[in-house]
Amino acid sequence: MKYPKINTIWKRDEKTGKIIEGDFSKPEFAIINQWLITEKIDGTNIRVSFSATMKDGKKTGVIQFDGRTYEAQIPAHLVAALQKTFTVQLFEEVFSEKGLPDYIILFGEGYGAKIQKGGGLYRDDVGFILFDVFVETEGKGWWLDRNNVEEIAGKFDIPVVPVEAIGTWQDAVKLVKNTTASAVSKYPKVAEGVVCRSYPLLLFRNGDPVMFKLKVRDFD
């Protein structure tokens, strides 16, 4: 399962690629009053998937690391960090209280040194920062809300993308235009932009979360 495509809040001019302020790319964006505004991290999309299996009469599982697509190549030093961070035993411990789901995906960003240009400003090494969790049991899947995502991040001892504000889409635009400093980076760095999820969480008709993104460079 790939992470859903995140639309920029506004449409783009087909010739120039520039955003057309005020022309919403999805009609839902115009009518939602509250958004959970989080920092957009400039890294590489990573999926940490846990698929449950039965072994000796006990439910356990296997872990798989993927980029946005199954063909995407993950840098070797990031793979090593992921393998150190995520183990089958830890997944079992984190999700044991409510019963181990059949399928779990931790969606996040691989970020840090040698990941993107300027990635070393985030941190001296590399790591994984969480932004969404999807679970499935007996064929029924659902997206976890922010509180649950934060709880899971805490149990795995991994960071979660910071919340900049809960507000309107106008608040999100203002944050990006003001080129807010990154709350994640170790060294001074302007945040790449924002990712905004409807608050509380709503879904499009196809089951994808209602969310949009906006980058500082959209206003260049």
**For the chain, what are the domain ranges?**
7-41+162-219, 44-156
CA-based angle 37:39:42, to the nearest 5? 145
| Tokens encoding 128 | 């994984």
Per residue of the chain (220 residues), what is the pLDDT tens digit? 999 999 999 999 999 999 999 999 999 999 999 999 999 999 999 999 999 988 787 888 999 999 988 888 999 999 999 999 999 999 999 998 778 899 999 999 999 999 999 999 999 999 999 999 999 999 999 999 999 999 999 999 999 999 999 999 999 999 999 988 999 999 999 999 999 999 999 999 999 999 999 999 999 8
**Cα gap 103→28, rounded to integer Å:** 29
Confidence (pTM): 0.94
The CATH classification number of 7-41+162-219 equals 3.30.1490
128: left (phi over 0), alpha (psi -120 to 50) or beta: beta
Class of domain 44-156: alpha beta
